[in-house]
A and B are shown apart, each in its own frame.
Chain A
Amino acid sequence: MTALIFLLIAIAMLTALGGRRLLAGSVFGLGLILSVVWLVHHMTDALPLSF
């Protein structure tokens, strides 16, 4: 999943460099949504704490 996110952002950067702003923004948006989903997944891991 993380590799896919990096790949999407790299594609967005290449698209921006090619001058296609809207497409770059759309691909980046997809990457951002996936990143947030993945962050929430990892931030809600149960912690092995004992007091």
Chain B
Amino acid sequence: MATLVRFGNWLGAMAVAGVLLVAFALQFAQHELPCPLCMLQRVAFVMCGFGFLMNLRFGSQPLHYGITLLAALFGLAASGRQVLLHIVPGDAGYGSPLLGLHLYTWTFVFFTAVVVGVSLLLLLSPREIERREGRHALPMGALSRLAAWLLILVTLANAAAAFALCGPVECPDNPTSYWLLNRS
């Protein structure tokens, strides 16, 4: 059962990294610049990833699942707000749809899946042994290290992209170009 839980956490970390890579691909290949709420949804993704990474590094613990659940609720609030902003009939929405839904709607679905998935992982998690191990770092396999470094690289890339888009100030509501490029 512990292996299944560890695999679930690894899968969660890889899924978060994958979603952020797809968002990056859309941003740079199709010039779909993220709005402030879209950026906050990406923040929620990396925060979810942090919870999964903590489980991979220190063993599965309620505290780490709590982090992931809080991050998912944060993401649900940001994406839910954006869905409601564009819910009026006739509103074209923000950005291009992907497989029939806008990215913020997919994000809402993803965070709902995270809440369900983490609840299941919590139910399946071993009770005592791993909790006792929780304060000490556990050895990580190659796949876990891959997921961790992928998450870290994607998060750092998002920090650079956010700075390039918004600079040290507030992001525009409907960005059309990069703040960094406009300065030169």
Contacts and interface: CB of A to CB of B under 8 A. Distances in A.
Interface in A1-39: 1-7, 9-10, 12-14, 16-17, 19, 21, 24-25, 28, 31-32, 35-36, 38-39
A37 B136 CA distance: 32
Q: Looking at chain A, what size class is its interface with the partner chain?
A: 20 to 34
Contact of B36 (A7, A14, A36, A42): A42
Interface residues of B, number: 43
Nearest to A38: B40
A42 B158 CA distance: 19
A16 B166 CA distance: 28
Nearest to B85: A47
Contacts, number: 94
Contacts of B77: 39, 43
B53 A2 contact: no
Given A2-B36, A21-B137, A7 B50 contact: no
Interface SS, B side: helix
A4 B162 CA distance: 9
Given A6-B162, A21-B137, A35 B47 contact: yes
Q: Is the interface of A mostly helix, strand, loop or mixed?
A: helix
A43 B37 CA distance: 8
B151 interface: yes
Nearest to B41: A39
Interface of B: 36-37, 39-40, 42-44, 46-47, 49-50, 53-54, 57-58, 63, 67, 70-71, 74, 77-78, 81, 85, 134-137, 148, 151-152, 155-156, 158-160, 162-163, 166, 168, 170-171, 173
6 nearest A-B pairs in the assembled complex, by CB-CB distance: A6-B159, A19-B137, A3-B163, A3-B162, A10-B155, A2-B162
Given A2-B166, A14-B152, 17 more contacts: A1-B166, A2-B43, A3-B162, A5-B43, A10-B156, A13-B152, A16-B54, A21-B54, A28-B47, A31-B47, A32-B70, A32-B74, A38-B40, A42-B37, A42-B40, A43-B78, A43-B81
Interface of A: 1-7, 9-10, 12-14, 16-17, 19, 21, 24-25, 28, 31-32, 35-36, 38-39, 42-43, 45, 47
